[in-house]
Structure 1
């Protein structure tokens, strides 16, 4: 397999004098930090693989931006070349620009195996047992969310509240607060500090015995994981090598695939990368 990929370079006509029109021999592989996890260690094996594919003629620099917003800003400024982005971040980016394209997305073999879902739940101490209760008491309720760039901790819950006529949040609830991570949002209703919370399914699975302290109001369908994207103006011979290595990781370098998956708890049951279209994500929201 090693010889095969080295053989691809002349076939694809890789121009090692530059990635774009300029003479730039560095590829910036970027992602974002969640809580305190920057994911750089998770991506370094893939960066090293790419470097070997180009026989060391490109430096692969791995960066983690403090937030999804800052990663998107770097994409808009074309300061990065290859990005691992969240689902909500991807949707935000394509609403602003179209200079990157999808190279691959982590997939599970069957939707039932996915643990990437959004949950809206109420504290048992709130007395909320149904959506009718939420609607009748909303002005006096406190709701905790993760952050505005969270797919399962904000975007999907927001869309569901919207379908029920309960947005904008500030006009319908007594207090709305962003906790910064899923566990804190879940904890806020376990303690009764907040009445409602949105968080990811993985945190519910780690609840271990306190399930009777909350009442689940809604569980989303399985959410597509965020894609890996490459700049459209990258030399196609280079981006194709990047893409083929990504799509073949599960067969050729499963340990590198596992390293990437370990950076995202929602990807724990993913089995391979697959190339999806922008429309796949847009259709999911419909």
Structure 2
């Protein structure tokens, strides 16, 4: 198998951290004794194009500034582990993480903990699903087809630390006797939307994504159900958590929690909540909520 990207080392975060480290000189940190111009650093995993994401999160940033009286700076890392490492190093205060990215972070730094998760407008649930999608002209109509033609398949995952775009679909494929290492070519596209576009454009025959990304892309006409065909859907996965470090002052953590828990009361709530898809509100989250993801990572030998 020829890999289209360098092999991923879970302890290697060089590229992903560069942007955040450079920006780290601007960081003041909520846990420090500061009296002037405190800055809240918000880290974002790269679910979509970075410029697009920063634009989508501007209403959220503005709301946080108005609610906390602090300057808020949002940054999109070049990969998931860039955000994890920035959290560990204290370069950011709050982060949106995927479930698996959170589990990886927790395994390296137990002080990183979830405090909120979004309720999806479409379902009223805090869960979402992983999907495997095949291209219209790929000849793949089922997982059985994927297995039978594995040696001729170009396949795309999202990111090594993605839950719906790597961990869960990889576990499922292995359970069906399909080792992703046996695909003709395997790539990490870097974003959920990038996987769908790679399928649509014929760069790969199939790939893994989440229903959170797939649905809106269909609604906007970027892809169609006829072009990008879902051939597998996972069981519900705990939603992407908002996290901070437990070592922050209790008063600071309480302020952060309250701001997010009341975000749905904002006049422009749809815009404020809409950074990572259609969210109706944020509710409390705990470490225990992510045990299924934790166990899946253990089963695949990705954490101890």
TM range (shorter): 0.7 to 0.9
1:63 aligns with 2:74: yes
CA distance in 1, matches of 2:66, 2:113: 21
Indicate how the Cα distance of structure 1 residues 119 and 245 shifts in structure 2: closer, same or farther if over 3 A, else same. same
> Which protein is bigger by CA-based radius of gyration?
1
1:34-53 to 2 correspondences below 5 Å = 34-36=48-50, 37-38=53-54, 40-52=57-69
Aligned pair partner of 1:277 in 261, 272, 286? 286
Task: Pick closer, same or farther for the CA change 1:60–1:217 going to 2, 3 Å.
Answer: same
Q: How does 1:138-157 map to 2 (within 5 A)?
A: 138-157=150-169
> What is the TM-score of this pair, normalised by structure 1?
0.76
Matched, 1:175 2:185: yes
Which range moves more in the overlay, 156-165 or 89-98? 156-165
From 175, 180, 184, the equivalent of 1:163 is: 175
Distance 1:279 1:174, change over 3 A: same
Pairing partner for 2:230 from 209, 213, 216: 216
Give the alignment partner of residue 204 of structure 2, picking from 170, 194, 200.
194
Shift of 1:44: 1.8
Query: Which secondary structure state, in structure 1, belongs to the residue aligned with residue 209 of structure 2?
Result: strand
Unaligned runs of 5+ in 2: 1-28, 297-304
Runs of 4+ in 1 over 6 A off after TM superposition: 112-115
Judging changes above 3 Å, is the alpha-carbon distance between structure 1 residues 264 and 138 closer, same or farther for their aligned structure 2 residues?
A: same
- The SS at the match of 2:95 is strand
User: Separation in 1 of the partners of 2:34 and 2:83?
Assistant: 20
Structure 2 matches for 1:228-247, cutoff 5 A? 228-247=242-261
Of 152-161 and 34-43, deviating more is 34-43
Match of 2:142 in 1: 130
Alpha-carbon distance in 2 for matches of 1:108, 1:214: 23
What is the alpha-carbon distance in structure 2 between the residues aligned to residue 150 and residue 238 of structure 1?
Answer: 29
Query: For residues 196 and 92 of structure 2, what CA distance do their matches in structure 1 show?
Result: 34
State the superposition RMSD in angstroms. 2.9
Give the drift of 1:176. 0.6
